[in-house]
Amino acid sequence: MITDEQLKVEGLKALTEALGDVRAEKFIALVMRSQFDYTKWQRKLWVEKSVEEISDAAMKLRKSKMEVVDNV
């Protein structure tokens, strides 16, 4: 298990890698100033996907990221 601080660092790193610094900052600002309910949002995120489809996509993404790390 990781600490809250480690989770924040990893989350920010993931956001900046995916969105870039400016967009990640904008995303955080949008979330902080809105009445954002992560649980409600998450429940609607992939309603058209099965658990198996989501799991397969996550495993493929992880494998592709591991291949990049292995090639460095």
pLDDT at 11: 93
pLDDT at 68: 65
Residue 60 amino acid letter: K
Half-sphere exposure of residue 59: CA atoms within 13 angstroms, side-chain side: 6
pLDDT at 30: 87
Q: State which residues of the chain have pLDDT below 70.
A: 68-72
pLDDT at 6: 93
Half-sphere exposure of residue 2: CA atoms within 13 angstroms, side-chain side: 8
Rounded to two decimals, the pTM is: 0.48
Report which DSSP code applies to 49: S
**Gap between the Cα atoms of 27 and 47, Å rounded:** 23
Tokens representing 1 are 């298990």
Domain boundaries, the chain: 1-36, 37-72
Tokens 């660092």 belong to which residue?
A: 9
Would you say how long the chain is, in residues? 72
